[in-house]
Structure 1
Amino acid sequence: MFVIMGANGQTGGAVARTLLEQGRPVRVVLRPGRDGQDWHSRGAQVAHADVQDATALSDAFAGARAVYVLNPPDYASDDMLASGHAVADAYRTALDAGGVRAVALSSIGAQHPEGTGNIVTTHILEQALRPLGASFVRAGNFMTNWLPSLPAMRTGALPTFFAPLDRPVPHVAVADIAATLVRELQRTDSRTIELAAPADYTPADVATAFCAALGRPVTAQVIERAQWEQTLSQFGMPQAAIGSWVEMWEGFNTGHIRFEGSPERGQVTIEDFAKAGLAQREAQQ
């Protein structure tokens, strides 16, 4: 039995669907009150647990060969780091009680205890679960992070916090993350994998890829540092979370947020992603 946290999210959903397609037994863990009928119809077991409830998580993890876990930032919390510690501690207690192996989604820069903004929650998770023999997949910048800018790209501009525009940044597609996580869930050892796309991409490269997908000019444009807080607020970011986002972008732009070693390379290019992401968004409209 493989137990999957965050099944209604990007990576968790992709991992659960892939395992089910392989004929593997899957139990998805949803938040209390969430409807699990869709997962039942796909052949998965459904459990419910709050991510800070160690007892409920222990019940959900019972009988698992391995568990997929993640510690996404709680942007609505006044203390995102305290929330991250609470989630990591609950995972650790539940996994330790059942002697269950975990594979966790982590991030580029997770080796650092500070100076990475939101990414610190993955450092917290690694520190909590490493003594239990967990494995970690440190992902580069999600390619899907560019999709909210599609309306702006349709008008010819790709606004970005990454600077300068010719600095390559490690990216990765959800499909490659999910494939790697599925592989690691079926292993029995403990290791850390740093994962990126076939190449690193500058904001200018991303603009060129979406230019080809959209069939119209797209130019990357740096959001000036003095405008970051206002821009994030306009994006609807909670005030308590803006500081952590600012710290994260500064970490990328100074080179503080980087991989420790040479990453494993996935299959999906930014050009592939731009075409597929655009087609998916258009199908949803």
Structure 2
Amino acid sequence: MHIILGGNGHVGSAVAQTLLSQGEPVTIVSRSCASIPKWHKRGAMVEVVDVHNTVELRRVFALGKRLFLLNPPADPATDTDVEERKSLASILEAITDSGLEKIVAESTYGAQPGSQIGDLGVLYEMEQQLAAQSIPFSIIRAAYYMSNWDFSLQSAKQDGVIYTFFPTDFALPMVAPRDIGQLAARLMKQPIENTGLHNIEGPERYSSLNVAQAFAKVLLKPVKVMETPRHQWIKTMQNMGFSNSAAASFSNMTTLALEAEMPPRDLVTRGVVSLESYIAELAHSVV
């Protein structure tokens, strides 16, 4: 049995759906009952558990042998670094004595030690703590999710504009959740001794201008890019509902993303889903 944390998100659902399509047994860990009918129809089991309930989480982990570990994102209205470290601590404690044979954990490009740098710091700590325990594990360091552009569809349709914190011509490694799902499912099924670090990104590196062009093509209208100047980042995030601490953390993470060295392409798994095809599928799915 494969246990999937974050199974209702873009990446976790892609992992689960890939495994189910291959005839593998899957249990989704969900925070609510709402998704139960959907997953039962697809052939998966669902366990409704709060990830902060370590005892219940360990009980669910004991139902399976392989775990896809995705630390759930915290509400940006909270102190996200604090909340995500709390959920991660519960997950890692629940792994102990769970009977799991292998873990595949979702991390990120640019993971590094540090405080108030968002996922870069929290997920680096996850990697280090997995290395300190005894269950064999693999790490997936994923590029910027193409699904992070989903929220831009509305402004592209209504106003012909998308907004970005990145310089408009800055080429960024991006990856579709479906490609991560394919890689994660493959790692989940491999022998337990097959471990290691895996970088994944899409077939090309893309800029915000490329994103606008992809929206323009599918929407059949001009779409322009509006870059938010760095000195306005925190205020803009606060206006979006971010707490002061979350805005500072996200701002620091964005700065590091702009300055980061990317992994050499010969050490990267290349996905097959292009940005253009991802945006086209997104637009058609909500028509």
Taking structure 1 as the reference length, the TM-score comes to 0.89
1:129 aligned residue:
130
Matched positions, count: 280
**SS of match in other structure, 2:151:** helix
**SS of match in other structure, 2:105:** strand
1:169 aligned residue:
172
Shift of 1:77: 6.9
Q: Distance in 2 between matches of 1:175 and 1:119?
A: 22
Alpha carbons 1:19, 1:25 under 8 Å: kept: yes
Alignment of 1:1-285 (within 5 A): 1-31=1-31, 36-75=36-75, 78-100=78-100, 101-114=102-115, 116-132=117-133, 133-154=136-157, 155-163=159-167, 165-187=168-190, 188=192, 189-253=194-258, 255-256=259-260, 258-259=262-263, 262-282=267-287
Q: Distance in 1 between matches of 2:35 and 2:162?
A: 37
**Where in structure 1 are there 5+ consecutive unaligned residues?**
none
Counterpart AA for 1:221: M
Deviations 1:259-283 (A, max 9, x none): 477421100111111111111122x
Q: What is the percent sequence identity of the aligned residues?
A: 31
Q: Distance in 2 between matches of 1:37 and 1:68?
A: 21
Shift of 1:17: 2.0
Q: Distance in 2 between matches of 1:245 and 1:180?
A: 27
- Going from structure 1 to structure 2, the CA distance change for 1:32 and 1:209 (only over 3 Å counts) comes to closer
Q: Distance in 1 between matches of 2:264 and 2:118?
A: 18
Counterpart AA for 2:112: Q
**SS of match in other structure, 1:167:** coil
**SS of match in other structure, 2:97:** helix
Shift of 1:219: 2.1
Q: Distance in 2 between matches of 1:35 and 1:62?
A: 22
Q: Distance in 2 between matches of 1:38 and 1:241?
A: 32
Shift of 1:55: 1.4
- Going from structure 1 to structure 2, the CA distance change for 1:124 and 1:97 (only over 3 Å counts) comes to same
The worse-fitting range, judged by mean Cα deviation, of 91-100 and 134-143 is 91-100
**SS of match in other structure, 1:82:** helix
Alpha carbons 1:109, 1:116 under 8 Å: kept: no
Alpha carbons 2:161, 2:224 under 8 Å: kept: yes
Counterpart AA for 1:176: D
Q: Distance in 2 between matches of 1:229 and 1:208?
A: 27
Deviations 1:186-229 (A, max 9, x none): 11222111110001111112222222111112222211122212
Shift of 1:52: 2.2
Taking structure 2 as the reference length, the TM-score comes to 0.89
- Going from structure 1 to structure 2, the CA distance change for 1:179 and 1:198 (only over 3 Å counts) comes to same
Shift of 1:182: 0.7
Counterpart AA for 1:128: Q
Deviations 1:139-176 (A, max 9, x none): 1111111121223323232221012x222101000111
**Where in structure 2 are there 5+ consecutive unaligned residues?**
none
**SS of match in other structure, 1:247:** helix
